[in-house]
Chain A
């Protein structure tokens, strides 16, 4: 399908695809197995300028938007969704600065992120604050010209590897949701530590750790926007980043389908390739159709954000739900098409199934997404 990409977007997509096929595919199983962080791939991505696709040119980026970020995430995820998170997780950490950062903060942090010199991460989730983000406990107390952070963030993508962290912490407990603020914390800041690396079902090449703040002193100039803006920044960040998760899901689904197709064409049973059996054909047809629909919805949501729409919360939630559910279904079906081979670690398809699951969970579970979608629909309906 022709999505009418700009010339630069075609360049970006093709280069990301080349990196995925030539550099990531051969090592995907290795990083999945060892759970190491794929620094050599990050270096390649940095040299390719891809880290900067969504960052404005004045900060050393290529001046694109969420659409460009999605194109890269999708292509990389086609090869390995875990490695792709090094890129996408950095995007999530950078978006708060892009959306709400001061000119000074943008100048200070974005050029290095655009060049891929520093990775970024976003810290909101805590042990008792998952879907219910309002119950976060990490605190930030103003003290002179600094804030003192205390608390523990959980399951933070890129933690320990990234150097720039945007952290949501409570500055005024009394104000509830309006008492949260967002800070930029640099790695190596005294009082900032990392927990052990989590063992995960999928996206095992991605680093997931706790980020622990113990009397961590952050300069006041690292406060993003102003006190009390934390949740608004977080919500807007997720509205912008969800198409990225959707793109990751589309990439996973496409990767699984590609393998299933290749296998179906070459696997001979009862004297013919199994792709000649209608039972298999119909599965493939459904997989292909669902992926294309997910991709179209993802791109539409991304473009809506890039066009400056006031709110794309509903649309980006729709893209995330639909694409991640599609990825899960397609990956399961891909395993089915490969049969016993699909279940074996020697073949790459089971990995897509393990990787797909997280896209239904993180950056807001699909249940929360449906809440958002319904709430917006109802709100729109009242306005009419």
Chain B
């Protein structure tokens, strides 16, 4: 089974702080990590490979530093890694990002499965996974929480919904986006870390993937950010003081407009 996992390097949200004076994101000292949802995608890919053989290729689009995310993926059991890095990709929105990734996947060639995390923790769009499947015109199942059964040409999966889950059958090749519940990602192994150290991720530019200039980067992106601002930080409110019964009554009184219709 040949599996492609798409990942993104994101700033670690636990480190993200707002400068109280300038009211902007402080990016110094913020560690870059693999998007938490993508860790589940990597783990699922590696588990499928361990069961069925084949290989897992991880792919990311980003600045040259994103190579660290690829190496980390290799330490977790991924076989091959591809870095898409080019100034021409800068300014990509989800349309152009999914286009670029799909162009690279075409170049990689035959695959049975593409796995993505459900969304990235910095942008939170959940649009790139479905975008890739649309560009490649393959079926997709999003928010997968379990692969019940999988064979060479079909899979039966559980797709998380607001109320519970759907059981969906899909032919392969297809694209899955996965949620946290699907697995518990392993930690790297020492041998994996040593392999990662010496591994040489493949680096492709716009030219290598024969991408259409009008479909990538800022030029390929229909949307445009016009303003970025920091929402007024939520202020800690009132601490209710007094005995348990007293504060309970007080709270009910304060909330009665919301709770009682």
Contact = CB atoms under 8 A, between A and B. Distances in A.
Do A and B assemble together?
A: yes
B194 A48 contact: no
A173 B194 CA distance: 50
A11 B193 contact: yes
A44 interface: yes
B187 A12 contact: no
Interface stretch (A14-22, A30-38, A80-88): A14-22
A22 B39 CA distance: 15
B77 to A, nearest CB: 10
Interface of B: 186-194
A62 B190 contact: yes
A53 interface: yes
Contacts of B193: 11, 15
A12 B190 contact: yes
B202 to A, nearest CB: 24
Contacts of B194: 8, 11
A283 B190 CA distance: 37
A330 to B, nearest CB: 28
Nearest to A46: B189
B188 A15 contact: yes
A119 interface: no
A47 B190 contact: no
15 contacts: A11-B193, A11-B194, A12-B190, A15-B187, A15-B188, A18-B187, A19-B187, A44-B186, A44-B187, A47-B186, A47-B189, A48-B189, A48-B190, A49-B190, A50-B190
Nearest to B186: A47
Contacts of B186: 44, 47
Looking at chain A, what size class is its interface with the partner chain? 10 to 19
A23 B189 CA distance: 14
Contact of B191 (A18, A19, A23, A62): A62
Listed residue (B187, B189, B191, B192) with the most chain A CB atoms within 10 angstroms of its CB = B187
B190 A23 contact: no
Nearest to A40: B184
B189 A11 contact: no
Interface in A38-57: 44, 47-50, 53
Contacts of B188: 15, 48
B13 to A, nearest CB: 17
B168 to A, nearest CB: 31
A239 B171 CA distance: 61
A119 to B, nearest CB: 18
Nearest to A12: B190
Nearest to B193: A11
A19 B190 CA distance: 12
Contacts of B190: 8, 11-12, 15, 48-50, 53, 62
Chain A to chain B: the 6 pairs with minimum beta-carbon distance, closest first: A49-B190, A49-B189, A48-B189, A49-B191, A11-B193, A47-B186
Given A11-B190, A12-B190, A23-B187, 13 more contacts: A8-B194, A11-B194, A15-B187, A15-B188, A15-B190, A15-B193, A19-B187, A44-B186, A44-B187, A48-B187, A48-B188, A49-B189, A49-B190
A150 to B, nearest CB: 42
Contacts of A49: 189-192
Nearest to A60: B191
A22 B188 CA distance: 13
Contact of A22 (B187, B189, B192): B187
Contacts of A44: 186-187
A12 B188 CA distance: 11
Nearest to B77: A47
A53 B189 CA distance: 11
Contacts of A8: 190, 194
Contacts of A62: 190-191
A18 B190 CA distance: 12
Contacts of A12: 190
A267 B166 CA distance: 50
A42 to B, nearest CB: 14
B92 to A, nearest CB: 33
B190 to A, nearest CB: 4
Nearest to A52: B190
A19 B188 CA distance: 10
Interface in A1-31: 8, 11-12, 15, 18-19, 22-23
A48 B194 CA distance: 12
A11 B193 CA distance: 8
A47 B194 CA distance: 14
A47 to B, nearest CB: 6
Contacts of B187: 15, 18-19, 22-23, 44, 47-48
Contacts of A48: 187-190
Interface string A47-84: 11110010000000010000000000000000000000
Listed residue (B188, B190, B191, B194) with the most chain A CB atoms within 10 angstroms of its CB = B190
Contacts of A53: 190
Interface string A221-252: 00000000000000000000000000000000
